Chain A
């Protein structure tokens, strides 16, 4: 087979851990993150995740990492975890050099389809740092709603980064998946 011209979806395996860590770090942190249209680079230093964090997301029961890749290169990734009627969507990353091209929208859509059709979930839930207003607006354009439910940022746990400000917190966003199945 020659190289495919279309990006394809694939479930990540343990062999993908280094590539996923690199992709997530490039999107969430540092100068590379600033090349994309949304990042946490101005909110946090340190790391977003590491090999242990990604390995945990791959091995925890009901959890997986979905990849969108092209010619063997991961362009975008997300964690998806089944929690009863709801699925949790997180650690979403798109290669900063490829952002604003619709890849994230496609991967989010595939994650919703998988949660709805393969898992029978009726809701997608996620938590977003409230200071990322442009990102929340992007999710709202895709049918997500702010719930007013907040969760504390894990201050003091450097596995999730080193905050540059003291008021970071997460808001829960939710979208109904039920009724959209064909």
Chain B
């Protein structure tokens, strides 16, 4: 079954997203930020649980993305909070490489 038929959302071509870059897509109403960190892809919900605002675009430290507004940090591999002022984790989503493209989906 092709990823699209399985409910996966196409992010971009394979090779288009380079290390250190992210891309935003939507699965339904869920904003998903897909990161390439050192060649591996990670997908998280693009909403800081501290204030509900956008998250991606903040500086990345290793596997942690820092919210650009108040400095909360989340682990892009798991969605876990690693630094306040956020205390609730964000969702993390699967990433798949297939048909020459990168795919993700909100699997909740």
Q: Which of B24, B31, B46 has the most CB atoms of chain A within a 10 A radius of its CB?
A: B24
The answer to whether B26 and A146 touch across the interface, beta carbons within 8 angstroms, is: no
A119 CA / B22 CA spacing, docked (Å): 24
The answer to whether A122 and B21 touch across the interface, beta carbons within 8 angstroms, is: no
Chain A residue contacts of B56, Cβ below 8 A: 145, 147
Contact with A along B30-62 (1 / 0, CB 8 A): 010000000000000010000000101100000
Q: How many residues of B contact A (CB 8 A)?
A: 16
- A138-182 residues at the B interface, CB under 8 angstroms: 143, 145-150, 174, 176, 178-179
A123 CA / B46 CA spacing, docked (Å): 13
The answer to whether B46 and A176 touch across the interface, beta carbons within 8 angstroms, is: yes
Min distance, Cβ A122 to any Cβ of chain B, angstroms: 5
Q: Which residues of A contact B (CB under 8 A)?
A: 85, 122-123, 143, 145-150, 174, 176, 178-179
Apart from A145-B54, A147-B24, A176-B54, list 4 A-B contacts with CB within 8 A.
A123-B24, A123-B26, A145-B68, A148-B21
Question: Would you give 10 A-B contacts (Cβ < 8 Å), ordered by A?
Answer: A122-B26, A123-B26, A145-B57, A147-B22, A147-B23, A148-B21, A149-B18, A176-B31, A176-B54, A178-B31
